[in-house]
Amino acid sequence: MSSYENHQALDGLTLGKSTDYRDNYDASLLQGVPRSLNRDPLGLTADNLPFHGADIWTLYELSWLNSQGLPQVAVGHVELDYTSVNLIESKSFKLYLNSFNQTRFDTWETVRQTLERDLRACAQGNVSVRLHRLDELEGQPVAHFHGTCIDDQDISIDNYQFTTDYLQHAVSGEKQVEERWSVIC
């Protein structure tokens, strides 16, 4: 059991609970999870983070209705700054995005601004949103990541609980720079 499994900040999350799908846009579906739950035990604050980065989301099936009721489809790209107070809980994000499906918006820019505003409010940090028409992406690879993928390591894992013990003596004080990525997060 993790040290925050029963934390009150997680009590109201929809994760693991049955939920109703909404027919119309509803920003209240978004739920934030405090980054401090993982950072506080490590003594990390916004002022002393030893890393940089972002939570990156690709919205492959974003849809809504234009002002005449015609379905619009886009691929979205969301970057949530690593210094935000909260991360966005993934099930709530999916439910929120689905709430756009039957909602009319005047322009693509209105959709982009709505996403950005709501995500910033939930995350309490910087968020950028880009929307792409499907024809813009023809012939584009899905992704090209720099660095080393850690998903195919030949290692044995038998502990899936968060523990700071693994990191306490992991660095010597010298700055280490590595680029590693995973699609299994």
What's the residue count for the chain? Answer: 185
**Which pLDDT belongs to residue 4?**
54
* Of 91, 69, 126, 99, residue with least CA distance to 18: 91
Beta strand 54-65 with 32-34: parallel, antiparallel or unpaired?
A: unpaired
Domain boundaries, the chain: 24-134
Output DSSP code: residue 104: B
- CATH architecture, domain 24-134: 2-Layer Sandwich (3.30)
pLDDT in tens, the chain (185 residues): 455 565 565 556 666 667 777 779 999 999 998 887 777 777 888 788 787 889 999 998 899 999 999 999 999 999 999 899 999 998 989 999 999 999 999 999 999 999 999 999 999 999 999 999 988 877 776 666 778 877 667 777 777 677 777 666 666 667 777 787 765 54
Number of neighbours of residue 103 by Cβ within 10 angstroms: 16
